[in-house]
């Protein structure tokens, strides 16, 4: 009896295993077929390869005739915060929803803001009234036409959610929707000429009760499905108003992958068609069949310092750190020298505001660093803890190089690795740290970058305080004249550099691996994965 | 019946203890769901506002009470991380995937480890046994995630037997889904197979020393008839216990391996939820896994009786 039971059990197990094994064999075929059918037939490999090599040299892959159709899977190593365009979210999320929503204006690849849902806009002399004329014939993904009421609703909803995080929310007096003239007027309590970047905020229909669960916008792609932790699927919106810029692809899937290594393997296996933030090692080992586009991560990476803590409260010590850290070797080691050098807290691509002179304030000069340290009374150095979020390998590697650099000037630096949430809580929210290596992103508004250095800013986790900076920032922010505004901002940036608020390292390069059948990948100076320009190259 | 009731009460108590420990751990580690969700793009005031909205500011006992009162009614609440998403809906997609993966790994262990273990015992001290010993020793030392990366590289990128990351949902195509799971299952199973082989071999050899074996030989039985008809039955008992323990380890292994193979199972959900401080999700996953392990242990108790009736249930 017992023997029989045992035998039965064992034979059952055997049968099941064989079944599994058989199914595995059957499966190979089907996956192979799938892989074949997803590649366009008859591509001329050698020509393609040449083309793509050229493309890589030109930092873009815009060669080959575009064709309409096909689908693409883009890898992401993070999930989305929300599909609601008005929720405060991170750069990754904003980059993705860029495809679904549009604002009154939208950014170009050059960082200019051009009319989108608005066909035209006007800013009054005193910058207190912004008037937008809506474009005719713009429709939401549900087919309904965009009305001035929808625009008013969207702006008010955004302002309410963003609260004090947004200049627009703070100074917005009222939104006047004029359906007769098809215009929307924004009345402000004080003049502000740099609100346009905020008006890229997504316009959504006032009738939609669940913008996060059922996202409806006006962008070139519309929402298909979202599976938390797995993927977001979007498809071309055929009713898109800008018929000249219709998306080529039928469908795009953003796939969320658990970690960087896995994502890279999936790119090599062809599961992913596009993957950004490749490391230089990965770029070198990437097999044939891929092009690598080079752009910028649109972030400012630096060693951020707590100006309220110990030796770091002395500007001379902070300056010494700037002389001691070899930013070029960090760039060479981590990004093959492809990152842009920066000297202050602003993107180089925001040319109107970026002060390039800040790059020359410091050079790698350990001798000078020692002198400054001696002057400040730290000839024998001091202990410094650099808190780094462990999930960002680039920041960890950067910190490792910095530790070596600082040892040369007698500063005994140690790295404290913390998990991301701990970093957010302790360092960012709590301001409880000495130094940290991190990168910040921001919008196209210069104030979004510089505001956090004001003494009374809620986001000033560095405890940085400089009266001169505060005054200049105030002047820059309230200036209406564009020339004047830029000059004040540049001056303020110079103070950050000379007073050595932080050690600014680089604007990290972004390497994007792209299947070579694909063309049209474009970089924006702000958070955007523009999928509408991507296409499968025609076979000749 | 009394036995089942007793086991059920044990289950409830275990779940209560585990849930309290998880809750406690979560209030100690830095960071919460509000901080995680808003990141570096919001002011501390906004984080505070979201915290209040989520009810994270309430005293810990109040929060635990709130969770408990929902949980006993089978309501695990809403995810903090994902808008308008219930924990139940997140779990219902992923439980079947992890269940399939675990069952598959377990079957692999049974089918491969048992014959090898017996073989190894039979030829103890001779060529096949020594070779097996060497191999098992090496495999045991390799962690599952590393094995996962090796398998992905070899079978995914070099041999193209499967396409890394191209997971198919079971409700779309069950066959394709199972196929994809074969390699993650192997990654989980291999180190465990090595363990079971070694364990079974030693168990059989220990049994071979017993008096009844000598008696069996003296009655003129051949070596294989002694082994298969007398020894194995007894040698299996400790192995079954070991297998029960293994199930917990398979679940733990799947947490890591799911990341490597991009399998959207409970393990990946759990890790993401911990990173995002999505407490309701973590708690629910931990409850499911705990319940599963307790129930399986109960089933193993029943299995003992099937193998050896001398063992009385509940005794």
Domain at A131, CATH number = 3.90.76.10
- Please name the residue of chain A whose CA is at the shortest distance from the CA of residue B101: A20
Partner residue opposite A458 with nearest CB, options B44, B178, B272 = B44
Domain boundary among A153, A183, A217: A217
Name the least confident of A182-191, A377-386, B244-253: B244-253
Residues of chain A with pLDDT > 70, as a percent, come to 88
Same domain, A379 and A495: yes
Regarding whether A342 and A379 lie in a shared domain, the answer is yes
Residues on chain B touching A264 (C-beta within 8 angstroms)? none
| Mean pLDDT for the stretch of residues B80-109 | 89
- Cβ–Cβ gap A420/B275 under 8 Å: yes
Nearest residue in chain A measured CA to CA from B266: A229
Q: Judge: B162–A81 Cβ closer than 8 Å, yes or no.
A: no
| Residues of chain A found within 8 Å of residue B180, distances taken between Cβ atoms | 27
Q: Which domain holds residue A368?
A: 300-507
Final residue in a domain of this structure, among A164, A186, A217: A217
Contacts of B38 in chain A (CB under 8 A): 88
Residues A71 and A174 grouped into a single domain = no
Q: What is the DSSP string of A377-445?
A: T-TT--EEEEEEETT-HHHHHHHHHHHHHHHTTT-EEEEEEE-HHHIIIIIIIT---SEEEEEE---S-
- Residue B240 in this model has a pLDDT that exceeds 70: yes
Where does residue A111 rank: exposed (0-12), middle (13-18), buried (19+ CB within 10 A)? middle
Half-sphere exposure of B181 (CA within 13 A, CB side): 28
| Residue among A13, A90, A259 whose CB faces B39 most closely | A90
Minimal CA separation from A39 to chain B, in Å: 15
DSSP letter for each residue of A428-466: IIT---SEEEEEE---S-HHHHHGGGSTT-TT-TT----
pLDDT tens sequence across B207-229: 878 888 888 888 888 777 777 77
pLDDT of A21 > 50? The answer is no
Q: Say what the pTM is.
A: 0.85
3-state secondary structure A260-315: HHHHHHHHHHCCCCEEEEECHHHHHHCCCCEEEEEEECCCEEEEEECCCCHHHHCH
pLDDT tier for residue A318 given thresholds of 50, 70 and 90:
very high
Substitution target in B42, B157, B170 with the highest count of A β-carbons within 10 Å is: B42
Minimal C-alpha gap between B17 and chain A (Å): 26
Tens-digit pLDDT profile for residues B126-162: 777 888 888 888 888 888 888 888 888 888 888 888 8
pLDDT for A225-272, tens place per residue? 999 888 999 999 999 999 999 999 999 999 998 888 889 999 998 999
At A24, the pLDDT band (50, 70, 90 cuts) reads: very low
Lowest-confidence range among A365-369, A403-407, B122-126? B122-126
**Band of pLDDT at residue B118, cut at 50, 70 and 90:** confident
Q: Where are the alpha helices (DSSP H) in A164-251?
A: 167-171
What pLDDT is recorded for position A27?
38
Q: Are residues A470 and A435 in the same domain?
A: yes
Contact residues on chain B for A272, CB-CB shorter than 8 A: 165
Average pLDDT rounded to a whole number, residues A131-155: 95
- A525 domain-assigned: yes
Q: Are A179 and A327 in a shared domain?
A: no
**Contact criterion met (CB < 8 Å) for A27 and B83:** no
Q: How confident is the model at residue A12 (pLDDT cuts 50, 70, 90)?
A: low
How far apart, in whole angstroms, are the C-alpha atoms of residue A455 and residue A447?
Answer: 14
> Which residues neighbour A271 within 8 Å (Cβ) at sequence distance 6 or greater?
A73, A255, B163, B164, B165, B166
pLDDT band at A39 (very low <50, low <70, confident <90, very high): very low
Q: Which residue of B has its CA nearest to A79?
A: B272
Whether residues A379 and A306 fall in one domain: yes
Nearest CA to B287 out of B270, B275, B264 is that of B270
> What domains can you pick out in chain B, each with its CATH number?
89-267 (1.10.3720.10)
A65 located within any domain: yes
pLDDT in tens, A268-314: 989 999 999 999 999 998 888 999 999 999 999 999 999 998 899 99
Chain A and chain B share a number of CB contacts under 8 A equal to 176
Whether A154 maps to a domain, the answer reads yes
pLDDT exceeds cutoff 70 at B73: yes
Q: How far is CA A146 from the centre of its chain?
A: 28
**Same domain assignment for residues A308 and A341:** yes
Contact B178 A255 (CB under 8 A): no
Task: List strand residue ranges (DSSP E) for A190-263, in order.
Answer: 221-227, 231-236, 251-256
Q: Which residue has tokens 């039979």?
A: B122
- What is the model's pLDDT at position A47? 39
Residue A453 φ/ψ, nearest 5 degrees: -95, -5
Q: Reply yes or no on whether the pLDDT at A37 is more than 60.
A: no
Residue A440 has its nearest CB partner, among B40, B156, B275, at B40
The total of other beta-carbon atoms located within 10 Å of residue B174's CB is 14
At residue B105 the predicted structure's pLDDT band, cuts being 50, 70 and 90, is very high
Using pLDDT thresholds of 50, 70 and 90, give the confidence band for residue A25.
very low
Q: Which of A5, A38, A228 to mutate to test the interface with B (most CBs of B within 10 A)?
A: A228
Give alpha helix (H) positions in A145-278: 148-162, 167-171, 260-269
Candidate ranges A342-351, B8-17, B36-45, B117-126; pick with highest mean pLDDT? A342-351
Contact A208, A223 (CB under 8 A): no
Name A351's Cβ contacts closer than 8 Å, sequence gap at least 6: none
Q: Which residues of A touch B40 (CB under 8 A)?
A: 90, 424, 428, 440
Say what the alpha-carbon torsion angle B37, B40, B45, B50 is, to the nearest 10 degrees: 0
- Please check the confidence at residue B310 and state whether its pLDDT lies above 80: no
Does residue A52 have a pLDDT over 80? Answer: no
Contact B82 A6 (CB under 8 A): no
> Does residue A484 share a domain with residue A358?
yes
Taking the C-alpha atoms of residue A290 and residue A49, their distance in angstroms, rounded to an integer, is 9
Q: What is the pLDDT of residue A488?
A: 95
Residues A227 and A191 in one domain: no
Q: Is position A15 within any domain?
A: no
Does A8 reside within a domain? no
Give ipTM to 2 decimals. Answer: 0.83
**What is the spatial distance between Cα B100 and Cα B93, in angstroms, rounded to a whole number?**
12
- Alpha-carbon distance B6 to nearest alpha carbon in chain A (angstroms): 27
Closest CB from B82, B157, B309 relative to A265 = B157
Is residue A209 located within the same domain as residue A284?
no
Residues A499 and A524 placed together within one structural domain of the fold: no
Please report the pLDDT score of residue B231 as a whole number: 80
Identify the CATH number of the domain in which residue A364 sits. Answer: 3.10.105.10
For residue A263, give the chain B residue with the closest CA.
Answer: B165
Number of domains in chain A: 3
Residue of A nearest to B168 (CA): A31
Q: Which residues of B touch A426 (CB under 8 A)?
A: 30
pLDDT band at residue B55 under the 50/70/90 scheme: confident
What does the pLDDT read at residue A7? Answer: 55
Which band of pLDDT confidence, cut at 50, 70 and 90, is reported for residue B202?
confident
Domain boundary among A169, A187, A217: A217
- % helix, strand, coil for chain A, step of 5: 40, 20, 40
In a domain, A467, yes or no: yes
pLDDT of residue A413: 95
Residue A20 has pLDDT above 50, yes or no: no
| Higher-confidence position of B311 and A32 | B311
Q: Among partner residues B30, B160, B178, which is closest to A20 by beta-carbon distance? A: B178
Residues A284 and A304 occupy one common structural domain:
no
Indicate yes or no: CB of B178 within 8 angstroms of CB of A428: no
Which residues in A lie closer than 8 A to residue B309 (C-beta atoms)? Answer: 2
């Amino acid at each position: 009896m017992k023997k029989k039971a045992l035998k039965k059990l064992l034979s059952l197990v055997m049968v099941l295993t064989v079944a599994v094994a058989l199914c595995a064999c059957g499966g190979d075929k089907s996956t192979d077929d799938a892989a074949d059918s997803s590649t366009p037939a008859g591509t001329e490999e050698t020509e393609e390869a040449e083309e793509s090599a050229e493309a890589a040299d030109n930092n873009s892959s815009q060669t080959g005739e575009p064709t309409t159709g096909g689908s693409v899977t883009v890898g992401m190593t993070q999930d989305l915060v929300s599909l609601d365009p008005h929720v405060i979210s991170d750069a990754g999320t904003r980059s993705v929803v860029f495809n679904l929503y549009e604002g009154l204006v939208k950014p170009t690849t050059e960082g200019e803001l051009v009319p989108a849902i608005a066909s035209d806009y006007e800013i009054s002399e005193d910058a207190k009234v912004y008037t937008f004329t809506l474009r005719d014939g713009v429709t939401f993904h549900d087919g309904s036409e965009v009305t001035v009421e929808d625009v008013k609703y969207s702006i008010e909803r955004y302002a309410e959610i963003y609260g004090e995080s947004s200049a627009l929310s703070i100074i917005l007096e009222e939104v006047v929707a004029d359906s007769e003239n098809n215009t929307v007027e924004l009345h402000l309590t004080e003049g502000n000429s740099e609100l346009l970047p905020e008006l890229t905020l997504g316009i959504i229909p006032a009738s939609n009760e669940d913008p996060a669960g059922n996202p409806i916008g006006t962008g070139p792609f519309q929402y298909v499905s979202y599976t938390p932790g797995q993927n977001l699927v979007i498809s071309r919106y055929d009713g898109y108003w800008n018929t000249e810029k219709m998306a080529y692809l039928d469908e795009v899937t953003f796939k969320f992958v658990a970690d960087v290594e896995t994502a890279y393997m999936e790119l090599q296996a062809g599961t992913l068609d596009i993957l950004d933030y490749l490391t230089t090692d990965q770029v070198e080992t990437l097999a044939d069949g891929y092009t690598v586009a080079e752009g910028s991560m649109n972030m400012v990476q630096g060693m951020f310092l707590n100006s309220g803590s110990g030796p770091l409260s002395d500007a001379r010590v902070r300056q010494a750190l700037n002389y001691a850290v070899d930013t070029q070797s960090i760039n060479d080691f981590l990004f093959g020298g492809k990152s842009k050098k920066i000297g202050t807290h602003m993107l180089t691509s925001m040319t109107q505001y970026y002060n390039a002179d800040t790059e020359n304030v410091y050079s790698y000069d350990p001798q000078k660093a020692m002198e400054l340290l001696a002057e400040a009374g730290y000839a024998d150095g001091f202990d410094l803890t650099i808190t780094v979020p462990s999930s960002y390998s680039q920041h960890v590697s950067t910190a490792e190089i910095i530790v070596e650099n600082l040892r040369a000037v007698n500063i005994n630096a140690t790295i404290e690795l913390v998990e991301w949430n701990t970093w957010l809580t302790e360092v960012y929210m709590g301001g409880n740290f000495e130094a940290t290596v991190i990168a910040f992103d921001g919008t196209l508004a210069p104030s979004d970058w510089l505001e956090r250095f004001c003494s009374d800013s809620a986001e000033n986790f560095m405890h940085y305080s400089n009266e001169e900076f505060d005054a200049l920032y105030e002047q820059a922010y309230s200036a209406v004249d564009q020339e004047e505004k830029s000059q004040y901002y540049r001056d303020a940036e110079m103070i950050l550099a000379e007073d050595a608020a932080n050690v600014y390292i680089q604007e990290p390069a972004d390497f994007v691996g792209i299947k070579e059948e694909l063309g049209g990948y474009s970089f924006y100076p702000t958070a955007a994965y523009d999928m509408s320009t991507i296409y499968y190259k025609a076979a000749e | 019946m009394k036995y089942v009731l007793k086991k059920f009460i044990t289950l409830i108590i275990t779940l209560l203890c585990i849930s309290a420990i998880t809750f406690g751990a979560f209030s100690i580690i830095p960071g919460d769901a509000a901080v995680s969700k808003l990141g570096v793009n919001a002011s501390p005031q906004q984080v505070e506002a979201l915290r209040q909205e989520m009810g994270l500011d309430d005293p810990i006992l109040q929060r635990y009470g709130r969770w408990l009162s929902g949980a006993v009614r089978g309501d695990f609440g809403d995810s903090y991380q994902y808008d308008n998403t219930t924990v139940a809906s997140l779990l219902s997609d992923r439980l079947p995937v992890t269940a399939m993966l675990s069952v598959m790994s377990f079957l692999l262990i049974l089918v491969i480890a048992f014959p090898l273990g017996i073989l190894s015992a039979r030829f103890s001290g001779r060529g096949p046994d020594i070779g097996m010993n060497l191999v098992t020793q090496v495999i045991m030392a390799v962690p599952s995630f590393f094995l996962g990366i090796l398998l992905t590289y070899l079978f995914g990128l070099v041999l193209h037997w499967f396409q890394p990351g191209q997971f198919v949902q079971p409700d779309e195509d069950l066959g394709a889904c199972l196929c994809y799971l074969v390699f993650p299952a192997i990654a989980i199973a291999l180190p465990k197979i090595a363990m079971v082989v070694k364990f079974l071999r030693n168990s059989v050899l220990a049994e071979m020393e017993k008096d009844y074996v000598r008696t069996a030989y003296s009655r003129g039985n051949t070596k294989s008839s002694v082994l298969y008809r007398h020894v194995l039955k007894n040698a299996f008992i400790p192995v079954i216990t070991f297998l029960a323990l293994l199930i917990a380890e398979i679940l733990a292994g799947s947490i890591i391996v799911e990341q490597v193979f991009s399998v959207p199972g409970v393990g990946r959900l759990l890790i993401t939820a911990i990173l995002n401080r999505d407490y309701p999700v973590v708690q629910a996953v931990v409850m499911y896994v705990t319940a599963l392990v307790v129930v399986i242990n109960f089933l193993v108790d029943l299995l003992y009786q099937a193998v050896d009736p001398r063992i009385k249930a509940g005794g």
